[in-house]
Amino acid sequence: MSVAVVMGSKSDLEVVRGAFDVLKEFGVPCVGRVLSAHRTPVEAAEFAANAEKDGVKVIICAAGMAAHLGGVIAAHTTLPVIGIPVASAPFNGLDSLFSMVQMPPGIPVGVVTAGKAGGKNAALYAISMLALSDKVLAEKLAAFRKKQKAQVLSADEELQKELFSE
Protein backbone atom coordinates (compact mmCIF):
# COMPACT_ATOMS: atom_id res chain seq x y z
CA MET A 1 0.00 0.00 0.00
CA SER A 2 1.39 3.43 -0.94
CA VAL A 3 -1.36 5.97 -0.44
CA ALA A 4 -3.98 6.03 2.28
CA VAL A 5 -7.13 8.04 1.69
CA VAL A 6 -8.88 8.84 4.94
CA MET A 7 -12.24 10.59 5.20
CA GLY A 8 -13.82 12.04 8.31
CA SER A 9 -17.20 10.58 7.40
CA LYS A 10 -18.63 8.25 4.79
CA SER A 11 -20.54 11.37 3.66
CA ASP A 12 -17.19 12.66 2.28
CA LEU A 13 -16.91 9.78 -0.19
CA GLU A 14 -18.15 11.68 -3.24
CA VAL A 15 -15.40 14.26 -2.72
CA VAL A 16 -12.64 11.67 -2.48
CA ARG A 17 -13.92 9.28 -5.14
CA GLY A 18 -11.78 11.09 -7.72
CA ALA A 19 -8.69 10.37 -5.64
CA PHE A 20 -9.34 6.63 -5.83
CA ASP A 21 -10.03 6.91 -9.58
CA VAL A 22 -6.71 8.66 -10.21
CA LEU A 23 -4.69 6.35 -7.96
CA LYS A 24 -6.19 3.32 -9.70
CA GLU A 25 -5.55 4.86 -13.13
CA PHE A 26 -1.86 5.24 -12.21
CA GLY A 27 -1.71 1.75 -10.68
CA VAL A 28 -0.85 3.10 -7.22
CA PRO A 29 -1.87 0.74 -4.41
CA CYS A 30 -4.21 2.50 -2.00
CA VAL A 31 -6.46 2.00 0.95
CA GLY A 32 -9.56 3.93 1.98
CA ARG A 33 -10.70 4.49 5.57
CA VAL A 34 -13.39 6.38 7.46
CA LEU A 35 -11.76 7.77 10.60
CA SER A 36 -12.83 10.85 12.49
CA ALA A 37 -10.60 13.21 14.46
CA HIS A 38 -13.48 13.80 16.87
CA ARG A 39 -15.67 10.70 16.77
CA THR A 40 -12.87 8.10 16.65
CA PRO A 41 -9.83 10.02 17.91
CA VAL A 42 -8.03 6.95 19.28
CA GLU A 43 -8.48 4.93 16.07
CA ALA A 44 -7.38 7.90 13.93
CA ALA A 45 -4.23 8.35 16.02
CA GLU A 46 -3.47 4.61 15.93
CA PHE A 47 -3.90 4.51 12.18
CA ALA A 48 -1.49 7.42 11.71
CA ALA A 49 1.06 6.03 14.16
CA ASN A 50 1.12 2.67 12.33
CA ALA A 51 0.86 4.01 8.77
CA GLU A 52 4.59 4.10 7.98
CA LYS A 53 5.23 0.54 9.15
CA ASP A 54 2.12 -0.53 7.22
CA GLY A 55 3.76 0.67 4.00
CA VAL A 56 1.93 3.97 3.56
CA LYS A 57 3.99 6.72 1.93
CA VAL A 58 1.45 9.55 1.70
CA ILE A 59 -1.82 10.13 3.55
CA ILE A 60 -4.72 12.06 2.00
CA CYS A 61 -7.33 13.36 4.45
CA ALA A 62 -10.74 14.71 3.44
CA ALA A 63 -12.81 16.38 6.11
CA GLY A 64 -15.50 18.98 6.52
CA MET A 65 -16.71 21.36 9.23
CA ALA A 66 -14.11 21.63 12.06
CA ALA A 67 -11.77 19.72 9.77
CA HIS A 68 -9.08 18.55 12.18
CA LEU A 69 -8.51 15.15 10.60
CA GLY A 70 -5.43 16.09 8.57
CA GLY A 71 -3.88 17.86 11.55
CA VAL A 72 -4.56 15.01 13.96
CA ILE A 73 -3.18 12.45 11.51
CA ALA A 74 -0.11 14.65 10.86
CA ALA A 75 0.45 14.95 14.61
CA HIS A 76 1.01 11.19 14.81
CA THR A 77 3.23 10.62 11.77
CA THR A 78 6.02 12.29 9.82
CA LEU A 79 4.59 11.01 6.52
CA PRO A 80 3.35 13.77 4.18
CA VAL A 81 -0.31 14.58 4.79
CA ILE A 82 -2.51 16.19 2.15
CA GLY A 83 -5.81 17.76 3.18
CA ILE A 84 -8.94 18.14 1.05
CA PRO A 85 -11.40 20.67 2.48
CA VAL A 86 -14.95 19.34 2.19
CA ALA A 87 -17.76 21.88 1.80
CA SER A 88 -20.60 21.69 4.26
CA ALA A 89 -23.34 24.08 5.41
CA PRO A 90 -23.48 26.78 6.73
CA PHE A 91 -20.01 28.07 5.74
CA ASN A 92 -19.64 26.17 2.47
CA GLY A 93 -16.20 24.77 3.23
CA LEU A 94 -14.51 27.96 4.39
CA ASP A 95 -14.52 26.45 7.88
CA SER A 96 -12.76 23.30 6.63
CA LEU A 97 -10.30 25.33 4.57
CA PHE A 98 -9.34 27.55 7.49
CA SER A 99 -9.01 24.55 9.80
CA MET A 100 -6.64 22.87 7.36
CA VAL A 101 -4.47 25.79 6.24
CA GLN A 102 -4.04 27.18 9.75
CA MET A 103 -1.88 24.39 11.12
CA PRO A 104 0.59 25.66 13.74
CA PRO A 105 4.27 25.73 12.71
CA GLY A 106 5.87 22.33 13.14
CA ILE A 107 3.05 20.08 11.94
CA PRO A 108 2.35 20.78 8.25
CA VAL A 109 -0.66 19.69 6.21
CA GLY A 110 -0.50 20.44 2.48
CA VAL A 111 -3.94 21.58 1.39
CA VAL A 112 -5.34 21.13 -2.12
CA THR A 113 -8.40 22.41 -3.96
CA ALA A 114 -11.68 22.18 -2.06
CA GLY A 115 -14.28 19.66 -3.13
CA LYS A 116 -14.22 17.07 -5.92
CA ALA A 117 -11.35 18.68 -7.84
CA GLY A 118 -9.39 18.34 -4.61
CA GLY A 119 -9.88 14.59 -4.66
CA LYS A 120 -8.23 14.39 -8.05
CA ASN A 121 -5.50 16.89 -7.21
CA ALA A 122 -4.69 15.25 -3.89
CA ALA A 123 -4.04 11.98 -5.70
CA LEU A 124 -1.92 13.69 -8.37
CA TYR A 125 0.03 15.49 -5.67
CA ALA A 126 0.64 12.22 -3.83
CA ILE A 127 1.71 10.62 -7.11
CA SER A 128 4.19 13.43 -7.78
CA MET A 129 5.75 12.73 -4.37
CA LEU A 130 5.98 8.99 -5.05
CA ALA A 131 7.34 9.72 -8.54
CA LEU A 132 10.44 11.32 -7.00
CA SER A 133 11.72 7.81 -6.34
CA ASP A 134 9.70 5.83 -8.89
CA LYS A 135 10.77 6.25 -12.51
CA VAL A 136 7.80 4.36 -13.96
CA LEU A 137 5.37 6.54 -12.05
CA ALA A 138 7.26 9.66 -13.14
CA GLU A 139 6.83 8.57 -16.77
CA LYS A 140 3.11 7.94 -16.24
CA LEU A 141 2.76 11.40 -14.73
CA ALA A 142 4.57 13.00 -17.67
CA ALA A 143 2.29 11.09 -20.08
CA PHE A 144 -0.78 12.25 -18.14
CA ARG A 145 0.32 15.89 -18.45
CA LYS A 146 1.01 15.43 -22.15
CA LYS A 147 -2.45 13.96 -22.76
CA GLN A 148 -4.08 16.73 -20.72
CA LYS A 149 -2.19 19.36 -22.72
CA ALA A 150 -3.29 17.79 -26.01
CA GLN A 151 -6.91 17.84 -24.84
CA VAL A 152 -6.76 21.57 -24.04
CA LEU A 153 -5.04 22.42 -27.32
CA SER A 154 -7.61 20.40 -29.22
CA ALA A 155 -10.44 22.18 -27.37
CA ASP A 156 -8.85 25.51 -28.31
CA GLU A 157 -8.66 24.45 -31.95
CA GLU A 158 -12.34 23.45 -31.90
CA LEU A 159 -13.25 26.78 -30.33
CA GLN A 160 -11.45 28.70 -33.07
CA LYS A 161 -13.32 26.75 -35.74
CA GLU A 162 -16.66 27.12 -33.96
CA LEU A 163 -16.36 30.87 -33.40
CA PHE A 164 -14.26 32.21 -36.21
CA SER A 165 -14.29 29.97 -39.26
CA GLU A 166 -16.66 30.96 -42.07
Q: Which stretches of the chain bind ligand RP5, using CB under 6 A?
A: 8-9, 11-12, 36, 63-65, 86, 88
Between 10 and 135, whose beta carbon lies closer to ligand RP5? Answer: 10
Between 22 and 62, whose beta carbon lies closer to ligand RP5? Answer: 62
Between 23 and 37, whose beta carbon lies closer to ligand RP5? Answer: 37
Q: How far is the CB of 28 from ligand RP5 (least distance, A)?
A: 23
Q: How far is the CB of 19 from ligand RP5 (least distance, A)?
A: 14
Instruction: Name the phi and psi angles at 50, rounded to 5.
Output: -95, -10
Q: How far is the CB of 13 from ligand RP5 (least distance, A)?
A: 10
Task: Answer for the pair 131, 29: CB distance below 8 angstroms, yes or no.
Answer: no
Between 51 and 84, whose beta carbon lies closer to ligand RP5? Answer: 84
Task: Please name the residues in contact with 122: beta carbons below 8 A apart, sequence gap of 6 or more.
Answer: 5, 16, 19, 60, 62, 82, 84, 112
Between 9 and 113, whose beta carbon lies closer to ligand RP5? Answer: 9
CA angle 57, 93, 38 (to 5 degrees): 60
| DSSP codes joined into one string, 41-103 | HHHHHHHHHHHTTTT--EEEEEEESS--HHHHHHHT--S-EEEEEEP-TTTTTHHHHHHHHTP
Q: How far is the CB of 117 from ligand RP5 (least distance, A)?
A: 16
Three-state DSSP at 159 gives helix
CA angle 14, 20, 23 (to 5 degrees): 155
Q: How far is the CB of 63 from ligand RP5 (least distance, A)?
A: 4
